[in-house]
A and B are shown apart, each in its own frame.
Chain A
Amino acid sequence: MSNHTTLERKSATETPLSAVRGRLDVAATARQAGLVGVILVLVLGFGLARPLFLDGGNLMNILLQASVVGVLALGQTFVLITGGIDLSIGSTVAMCAVVSGLLSHSLPVPLAIIGGIAVGALAGLVNGLLITMTNITPFIVTLGSMSIYAGIALIIAGGQAVYDIPTGFQDALAGRIAGVPIPVLLFVLLTIVAAVCLKRTVFGEHLTAVGGNAEVARLAGINVKRYTAAAYVLSGAAAGLAGTILVARLGAADPTLGADLLLTAIAATVMGGTKLAGGEGSMYGAAFGAIIIATLTAGLTTLNVQAFYQQVAVGSAIIIALLIDQVARGRR
């Protein structure tokens, strides 16, 4: 546009360019630094109480325990960002575990693994289509599919665990590379990929807009339904991968697997700063959340605190994390 004399007036109320505080990227970095701080405090605290806790093997073990929940939390973050929720991930884990376990009996290992993940993606697609094609809320749709997928897992497994998983399968997803368990490597890599996908791709940008305000996104010509469905596909695929990792680790595919994973994954996600209302989320936050929960469980077990109290501790951690987040936001 050409210059025009009518525009001399400057808006006096605006923030000057130098204002770093309040910038979104700065705020996100600060929140993640806070989570890393929490992890460090927990590790050092437990380490002071039980020096054995700081053993490299133990710390790697914590990451290993965090990896399955972490992968699920990454998928769940995509869904929560759209303002939805995926309650079916636990059942999807079981279903994909059984499918990949059965496939591994007859197909080459890579195909069995991809088959498991594909079934997860398909399960997510079914969720996504039901949510976008009907007016039923994500909570209800995935509550229904949670039960359906759990049933399907039991049906195809005949009610019993699938055994005789080839060692190739177990090596592929539960082995070690340079001393690091493969689930941990996958977890770290996927966290980076998911974070790049969310913050550095048009897909992530549009997904965030859809969750932040679907009407705005629609008026800007974004296909809201397609993006929403895609989030569930990603969540389902993540559950599929989590399922195949568990099969490899356990050497068996149990159709009742995964019942305790759903709420832990959601807890990790919200602890990381993802809003249930949608439009805001962090992949690194979800990963750190999963690590915090695993650290708490391992640390409290080391201190011989019973599971009942551990539940109280994890629950308190979620609420405290969100309180800190809120206070930090309030200040801005």
Chain B
Amino acid sequence: MRKTAAIALASILALGVSACSSATSAEESGAGGSYTYTSDQEGVKSLDGVALASTIGELKPAKKYRVAVILKALTNQYWQGIQKGAKAAADKYGVEVTIQAASSEKAQTEQLTIAQTLVGQKFDAYVVAPESTSNLNPALNQMRSQQAPVVNVDDARVPATVFIGPNHEENGIQAADELAKLFPDGGEVAQVEGQSGSSAAILRIKGFKEGVAKHSNLKLVASVPGNWDANASYAAAQQIIRQNPNLKGIYANNDTMAIGVAKAVQESGKKVAVIGTDGVPEAISGVRNESMAATVSPLPYYEGFWAVESAIGLLEGKEIAPWVVAPAQLITKENVDQFYDTEGQVITDLYK
């Protein structure tokens, strides 16, 4: 009996494999059109986000464009920042924006369902922040066949017309430079790494190592995993501090981890400079109360703003470089008030 079922299953499979080998993929691109989708290729031209507005020039949309924004999950302040910026840009230019996100940063298929449903509504342009480098592929193919411009926002890079995001490698370098500035006489430094496999982590780790190597008097004595987790990073930092009594500074690949590291430093009673990345409100207050030396913030509000602004620009026929670099700002006690209000929220009129 079981055999019958197995044979049936196998034959269906065989049918699926053989009968349609010549059929074209249902979700394959239609190609062509006036937009390119090459933003994920290496060595593409880049443009500083701050210069975006002046590059595009004046924007007076001819019609009320409809733009769909598909984000990872709104459970993280980072994505909420992007959402805010996207809305602000839509308001400014009088376009209709539909913002949808998956329920968690792990919900890959859910995000695909949402994206394909939106694609079915044929928007003029799409802004996507995919959960992974591959989970939105069929939707992206459909967007391409609709010949709509696609703007890719942080952090998984997919083939789009324009990518807006920080230079993660540069973030790591900036952190190393800051440590060199803080300790002109040099000294021992360490790194707490993000989730292995994450592209942001890979690039930041690489950048920090390069940056440290640039300054001959800095010495990287430890680089350990913290898995984007505050507790794991707290434990890792305790270990590092104990083993390296002369430690001067620690760079954590994101702020969540940096907060854990800062706690370990505080408990050790030693003076160790902690630098994070992201600029979440907790880290901003950490910088203000000096438990953290600095954080490298890509200012997500502007990523969201520029993403929608770029989409409109593309629809209006403007030429935009395939990579709009979100300038990662090194936020220190000195400049924090320049970028963040007292609530720890990004000031929204920095680049006017």
- Give A residues with C-beta under 8 Å from B: 52, 55, 57-58, 61-62, 64-65, 68-69, 109-110, 113-114, 117, 154, 158-161, 163, 167-168, 170-177, 181-182, 185-186, 189-190, 193, 196-197, 201-203, 230, 237, 241, 246, 249-261, 264, 294, 297-298, 301-302, 304, 306-308, 310-311
User: Could you show 17 A-B contacts with beta carbons less than 8 Å apart?
Assistant: A65-B113, A174-B27, A176-B23, A176-B26, A182-B16, A182-B23, A190-B12, A201-B1, A203-B2, A241-B13, A256-B108, A256-B132, A258-B108, A259-B104, A259-B108, A302-B121, A307-B101
Size band of the B side of the interface? 35 or more
Which of B133-141, B169-177, B262-270 forms contacts with chain A?
B133-141
Rounded to whole Å, the gap between the CB of B182 and the closest CB of chain A is: 33
Q: Complex formed: what's the CA distance from A172 to B16 in Å?
A: 6
A260 near B197 with CB under 8 A, answer no
Q: Across the interface, do B16 and A294 meet the contact criterion of CB distance under 8 Å?
A: no
Known: A177-B20, A252-B134, A311-B103. A258 touches B109 (CB 8 A): yes
What sequence of 0s and 1s flags, for each residue 103-146 of chain B, a beta carbon within 8 Å of any chain A beta carbon?
11011111011101110110000000000111101100000000
Partner of B25, one of A62, A170, A202: A170
- In Å, the complex CA distance between A91 and B18 comes to 28
Contacts A177-B20, A260-B102, A306-B74 known; 10 new A-B pairs at CB < 8 A: A64-B26, A65-B113, A172-B17, A173-B16, A256-B132, A257-B132, A259-B104, A260-B106, A260-B110, A301-B118
Q: How far is the CB of B206 from chain A (nearest CB, A)?
A: 15
Chain B interface helix/strand/loop/mixed: mixed
B2: chain A residues within 8 A (beta carbon):
203, 230
Most buried by B among A64, A193, A201, A301: A301
How near does chain B come to A85, taking the closest CB pair, in angstroms?
20
A254:B26 contact, CB within 8 angstroms: no
Q: Is there contact, CB below 8 Å, between B106 and A61? A: no
B82 close to chain A: CB less than 8 A: no
A264 to B104, CA, bound (A): 14
Q: Is B46 an interface residue (CB 8 A)?
A: no
Minimal beta-carbon separation of B352 from chain A (angstroms):
30
B335 within 8 Å of A (CB atoms): no
Contact A256 B106 (CB under 8 A): yes
Find chain B residues with CB under 8 A from A174 CB.
25-27, 138
Question: Across chains A and B, which 9 residue pairs bring their CB atoms closest together, nearest first?
Answer: A159-B197, A252-B134, A260-B107, A175-B23, A259-B106, A176-B26, A298-B117, A203-B1, A301-B117
